[in-house]
Amino acid sequence: MIGVGGDELRPFVIDLSAGGFVIGGPARSGRSTALLSVAGQLDLPIVAIAPRKSPLQDLPGCITDLTATEQLATRFDDGPVAVLVDDAELVVDSPLGPVLERFARTARDDGSVFVVAGTTDVLVTGYRGFVVDLRRSRCGLLLCPTSPADGDLLGVRLARGSIGPLHPGRGVLVEQGSPTPLQVARSG
């Protein structure tokens, strides 16, 4: 369960089998909290990547070094895993980027999960890398959208009512191109 939302304020469970899940939002919007919420509910070994100070760094084996390609590649050898990347915009053009691109292409077929979070305005302008591959699923979470153009990250048109002041964890869940208002549940 990622949070509650919709007209009925019902719990929403996200389907991570769609080939990827992208969490976008401005600074302090709750991206890392949403990643931790996802991490707490997965039944797969977790591979966390956080190049900048993040609560994900508290997860065992979190990779913080953007040049640790061998360390990352070996984590994929033992079967399906869940890869969680915080501040993905910093990772795309790093040495870890190509390793994650290869992973993105096979994750769906081998039962792995790939969830990334980053700044919406930077992720939406990217034209290469693993984030572009994940955006094709049109599944994700737009936290604290600041303009209707934020919907471009996941290929949806946001209603003006979705735009508002910064409330960490509040946003729009997009599943297969269909947006729903949502409040992220906090893990713990």
Instruction: Render pLDDT for 42-53 as a digit per residue (tens, 0 to 9).
Output: 889 999 999 999
Q: Which domain holds residue 12?
A: 3-184
Q: Kindly report the average pLDDT of the chain as a whole number.
A: 90
Question: Quick one: pLDDT at residue 187?
Answer: 58
CATH number at residue 137: 3.40.50.300
Q: Please give, one letter per residue, the 3-state secondary structure of the chain.
A: CCEEECCCCEEECCCHHHCCEEEECCCCCCHHHHHHHHHCCCCCCEEEECCCCCHHHHCCCCECCCCCHHHHHHCCCCCCCEEEECCHHHHCCCCHHHHHHHHHHHHHHHCCEEEEEECHHHHCCCCCCHHHHHHCCCCEEEECCCCHHHHHHHCCCCCHHHCCCCCCCEEEEEECCEEEEEEECCCC
pLDDT band (50, 70, 90) for residue 137: confident
CA nearest neighbour of 54 among 117, 1, 10: 117
pTM comes to 0.92
% of the chain exceeding 90 in pLDDT: 55
**Residue recorded with tokens 């979190």:** 62
Q: How many domains does the chain have?
A: 1
